[in-house]
Amino acid sequence: MNKDQDIINKNFAGCLILEKVGQGGMGSVYKAKHLTLNKTVCVKLLSRELSYDQRNIEFFMREARSAAKLDHPNIVHVYNFGEENGQYFIVMSYVEGKTLQDVLNEKKVLGIPEASEIIIEILEGLAHAHSKSIIHRDIKPSNILITTNGVPRIADFGLARSVNEEKQLTIAGEMVGTAYFMSPEQGLAQKVDTRADLYALGATYFYLIMGKYPFEGKTSIEVISKHINEPLPNMFVMKPDIPIWLTKIIEKLMKKDPEERYQSAEEVLKELKKQKARNYENINESTEMNYEMDDLNKKSEAARIQASLKPKNPQTQVPGLVMDHYSSEILETTGDKEKKEAPAKTPAREEKKPKLQFNLLNKLIKTLYHFSALLFSLMVFIFVGGTFQNPENTLVSMMSPFLKWPVPAFGLVLAGLALAAFAVRLKPLKFTPVYAFFALAMIFLAYAGANMAFYPETADSVSRVFFNFKTAVTNLSYSKNLWALALVLLLAAWKLSVRETLYQRILSTFLFLMAFLIFYSYAKGISLYKAEVFEKNWLYSALICTSVAVISNLVKGGMYIFLHPALLTLVAFFSIFHAVEKPEIRRLTDEKENREAALVAQDRRMAALAFQMENANEMPEYDFEGRPIVKPRKDINKILEEIKPRSREKLEQDSKKEYDERVKNNLFESFRGHGALILLALALFGILNVMFFEELIFYEKMFSE
């Protein structure tokens, strides 16, 4: 029986062998007809080469006995096994269809719902096998058969581990298919339990969603080494729209330490079925990226240049100034200081006023100092915010770094505030209210954004800083981040709107309009119905506010004081949100009302049927004198009247709660997975640097006059 044709069309183990359908490391697989059962089956034969080793035979037969104990719709059924004419065999059910690997070869990747449904059914089969103390040890797409009805069935229980380990791990290219899905403990030849199957299933889940293996290499040893030593690739970089819940499940399934994984298939099933009940919503997150920051300036060079720019006459006095540059108002104050009488000036030779010399290099150096101080302050607060988290409670999570790491956390916060204070000290006008407000807002958003972000399991505190920057930038135009992008454009438009030149006002007007349109897209995206209908009053309000904002920004007349374009655009945001919200709630209420009416009608039919059956089965009763006993009869109309739907007001309240919960989830999704708060912090960081440079320019003009 060395050749395949020797067994074709012959009776073997009660089966008529029809054709060869596969070849593996353990031997060959044949399609056959079971003569007793009169049904098509598969016959798997242990190769002659492996049967020379008694250990392989014992393992083959032990696993065959174990597999024969399993009876589950998601597992290939074993009918018979044994030895005939020196050939060891297993007879199992024949699955008409193709392997999951074949399906993936055709589709390249599977959608999240489709892949999740397959994984759920595989978990059902694994849960049954694990309950019988049976470990598969080789879960991978080629060992999952998909029937013509789309039902996955697990095949090849326990066969992969019976192949000689040393041979597999030393020959390049051998066992690569298995190595792609092998758990670290298998690669290290350690004790293996059911959690190894969960790891392999996690790698399979990754493969189905991403279309590529979690770890790749030229040899089995290289692939297995990566499973043991390297962190799981960041799925957000490979697929930015992947939902957070899916990355959490796959990462936990593929933890290096079995104790940190899910401990049973039932535990994974519970989590996946919870997402299935939500229709795998948010099917929509990036690896750490190392940023290198060059030294902007040498301190000695900066000190030398700054020293050369100091006025030589220490007696020179500058009139006291109180300035709010951002409202373009300058108030000169004389104070109570004594004025020394200056000597009379001759008309022929008028004394020139001393000037403070500003040059481009000086402004650039001070700007770079300011940039660096603010940047490191921003990074410090992101670092502290990302150290410890509590996903269950946002408030507790915000306090976690100070509760679990008090001394370093407080020390770093003080260092971050000191850097921010140093940036303020660099300003020519020192403290100004708008600058201070924006700086505090930047610090808070950086800390909160880092604390609420979702990180890869292997990210340390330092890499999380750069991870936050990367996430914010790469998800700039992500649909659930559009509200943050609209606010960024609004801030930029506001900054430009205070300028006097016409082209800057035109540019700021364009940014105001873009901010409005982007927020409109965000509000529309939240709607299940894509906002096909708007609430007219709110829509008109949004359009009027936007129009007045545009006119106010371009005209920049007396009305500007009372109708600030930034404020009007914010009101337009509020209006367009309600223009989308109201019809959405009405539609949700209508759907609930229809479902409620259908349920009430069904309940009334059941009540009427129960009433009829009760009357039909009622037996007449008589007293001692033979007179019939008349019992009070129930009024079917009253019974039916008591079954009534909830009021529309109650349904509308439920719809409002449902819509608000959706908006809340969208916001938290943008906070946690897409860096919305970090994006706002970076926008404020940019505006603060622009404000600083403008202040330098203004200060130069003030002293040159």
Query: What would the DSSP string read from start to end of 64-128?
Result: HHHHHT---TTBPPEEEEEEETTEEEEEEE---EEEHHHHHHHHSS--HHHHHHHHHHHHHHHHH
Give the pLDDT confidence of 439-455 residue by residue, as tens digits: 999 999 999 888 888 77
Burial track 140-165 (b if 16+ CB lie within 10 A, e otherwise) = bbbbbbbeeeeebbbbbbbbbbbbee
Under the phi-then-psi rule, with left for phi > 0, alpha for psi from -120 to 50, and beta for the rest, what region is 675?
left
Q: Is the pTM of this model over 0.75?
A: no
Q: Which residues pair with 45 in a beta bridge?
A: 28, 89
Averaged pLDDT, 34-53: 85
- CATH number assigned to the domain covering 4-93: 3.30.200.20
Q: How far is CA 484 from CA 237, 377, 472, 479, 487, in A?
A: 21, 22, 10, 10, 5
Express each pLDDT in 295-348 by its tens digit. Answer: 333 333 433 444 444 444 433 333 333 333 333 333 333 333 333 344 444 444
Beta-carbon contacts of 563 under 8 Å, excluding residues fewer than 6 positions away, are 548, 549, 552
Looking at residue 532, its pLDDT comes to 54
How is residue 109 written in tokens? 């990747």
- Residues β-bridged to residue 80: 91
Nearest CA among 269, 328, 362, 384 for reference residue 500: 328
Sign of the dihedral defined by the CA atoms of residues 681, 683, 687, 693, in that order: positive
Q: Does 248 have pLDDT greater than 60?
A: yes
Please give the single-letter amino acid code of residue 258: P
* Closest to 554 in 3D by CA, of 597, 514, 510, 588: 510
Which among 346, 318, 342, 344 is positioned nearest to 332, based on CA atoms?
318
- pLDDT, one tens digit per residue, over 255-298 is 998 998 999 999 999 888 888 888 777 644 333 333 333 333 33
pLDDT: which is higher, 632 or 651: 651
Q: For residue 158, is it left (φ>0), alpha (ψ between -120 and 50) or beta?
A: left
Q: Considering only 84-88, 415-419, 476-480, which range has the smallest mean pLDDT?
A: 476-480
What tens digit of pLDDT does each residue of 146-165 get? 988 889 988 876 543 433 33
**Pairwise CA distance, residues 705 & 55, whole Å:** 97
pLDDT digits (tens, 9 = 90+) for 362-379: 778 888 888 999 999 999
Give the domain ranges of the chain. Answer: 4-93, 97-277, 296-309+323-330+354-475+675-705, 477-616+633-672
Tell me the DSSP string of 605-662.
HHHHHHHHHHHHTPPP-B-TTSPBPPPPPP-HHHHHHH--PPPHHHHHHHHHHHHHHH
CA distance linking residue 538 with residue 656, whole number of Å: 17
Are 223 and 216 in contact, with CB atoms under 8 Å apart?
yes
Phi/psi of residue 470, each to 5°? -65, -45
Q: What is the DSSP secondary structure assignment for residue 501, as one 8-state letter?
A: S
- Average pLDDT taken over every residue of the chain: 76
Tell me how far apart the alpha carbons of residues 650 and 588 are, in angstroms, rounded to a whole number: 12
Q: 419: Cβ–Cβ under 8 A, 6 or more apart, which residues?
A: 373, 374, 376, 377, 380
Same fold for the pair 4-93 and 97-277: no
Cβ distance 271 to 251 under 8 Å? Answer: no
Residue 311 near residue 356, CB atoms below 8 Å: yes
Q: Is 207 exposed, middle or buried (0-12, 13-18, 19+ CB in 10 A)?
A: buried
Tokens matching residue 363: 């402004």
Instruction: Please report the pLDDT score of residue 528 as a whole number.
Output: 59
Residue 530 has what pLDDT?
52
Q: Residue 544 and residue 572: Cα distance in Å, rounded?
A: 8
Among 410-419, 501-510, 592-601, which stretch is predicted with the lowest mean pLDDT? 501-510
CB 159 within 8 A of CB 111: no
Amino acid type, 88: Y
Over residues 179-208, the mean pLDDT reads 88
Long-range contacts of the stretch 389-394 (C-beta < 8 A, 24+): 389/451, 389/452, 394/452
Res 80: pLDDT: 87
Q: Sort 593 into a burial class: Cβ within 10 Å, 0-12 / 13-18 / 19+.
A: middle
User: Which has the higher per-residue pLDDT, 452 or 534?
Assistant: 452
Residue 453: which of 289, 284, 445, 256 has the closest Cα? 445
CATH entry, 97-277, from 1.10.510.10, 3.30.70.20, 1.10.3720.10, 3.30.499.10: 1.10.510.10
Average pLDDT over every residue of 227-253: 87
Please give the single-letter amino acid code of residue 563: L
In degrees, rounded to 5, the angle at the alpha carbon of residue 274 between the alpha carbons of residues 273 and 276 is: 60
What is the per-residue pLDDT for 375? 92
Q: Whole-angstrom Cα distance, residue 290 to residue 301?
A: 28
| Cβ-contact 485, 476 below 8 angstroms | yes
Residue 377, pLDDT score = 92
